[in-house]
């Protein structure tokens, strides 16, 4: 049987949870733990594009994604199809060569 005090407790718990979620910091587009990072020529049209079988996180012209089994050039090409021209692409801190970046955007 529900009592008034247990109802208030449930409401208080729900409010606390909602407030906690509202102020919890979100993952940034260049978040820690990202394996892939990309800088775009223009702001991303979608904050969470799907490319290379993974959901990316984008904010303005910066995008990142966790490690996957995808090959870097394939990941870059698929991201380009989703968000537009890519001006730089990194994998585990290593920048894609100018030649591979041209292939990505080609």
Q: Residues 59-80: pLDDT tens digits?
A: 999 999 999 888 999 999 999 9
Residue 14 lies in a domain: no
Residue 26 lies in a domain: no
Section 48-66 average pLDDT: 96
pLDDT of 15 reads 40
Residue 6 lies in a domain: no
Residue 2 lies in a domain: no
Tell me the C-alpha distance between 83 and 72, whole Å. 16
**Domain count along the chain:** 1
> Worst-scoring range by mean pLDDT, 28-32, 47-51, 66-70?
28-32
Residue 65 lies in a domain: yes
Residue 60 lies in a domain: yes
**Host domain of residue 93:** 36-105
């Amino acid at each position: 049987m529900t009592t008034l005090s247990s109802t208030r407790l449930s409401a208080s718990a729900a409010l606390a949870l909602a407030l906690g979620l509202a102020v919890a910091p979100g993952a940034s587009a260049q978040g820690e733990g990202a394996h892939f990072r990309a800088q775009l020529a223009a702001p991303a049209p979608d904050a969470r594009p799907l490319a290379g079988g993974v959901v990316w996180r984008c904010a303005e012209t910066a995008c990142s994604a966790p490690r996957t089994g995808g090959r870097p050039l394939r990941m870059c090409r698929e991201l380009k199809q989703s968000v537009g021209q890519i001006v730089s692409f990194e994998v585990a801190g290593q920048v894609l060569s100018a030649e591979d970046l041209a292939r990505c955007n080609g």
